[in-house]
Amino acid sequence: MALAVLFVFSLIAVVSVSAQEKMQGTVTSVNADSGEIVVQDAAGETKTLMADPSAVDLKALKEGDAVSVEADADGAVKSIEVTE
């Protein structure tokens, strides 16, 4: 029984860690008013993300910027940084 409980807790920990995603890519569109950002990674896959405009400054972003983004599994941006 104790082994089963440990397994469940370890599974929960793995799910929690994998719920956070870091990606690098290029901004293909940004709407600073709505908080929507579309980023294309090196493999060509695009991901639509949402950022709280009051928490993340999107006005500095523009199409073509290389960025590093940290988001949760739902696509909510936790941080975004322009890279060179």
Cα distances from 59 to residues 19, 26, 54, 55, in angstroms, run 27, 16, 11, 12
Q: 11 lies in a domain?
A: no
The domain in which residue 34 lies consists of 21-82
Q: 28 lies in a domain?
A: yes
Q: 38 lies in a domain?
A: yes
Number of domains in the chain: 1
**pLDDT at residue number 60:** 87
Cα distances from 34 to residues 9, 42, 45, 60, in angstroms, run 37, 25, 22, 14
Percent of all residues in the chain with a pLDDT value above 70, rounded to a whole number? 77
Query: What's the CA gap between 82 and 48, in Å, rounded?
Result: 17
Task: Decide which of 78 and 3 is more confident.
Answer: 78
**pLDDT at residue number 27:** 96
User: Which CATH number does the domain housing residue 30 bear?
Assistant: 2.40.50.140
What is residue 57's DSSP assignment?
-
Q: 10 lies in a domain?
A: no
Q: 32 lies in a domain?
A: yes
Q: 26 lies in a domain?
A: yes
- pTM above the 0.85 mark? no
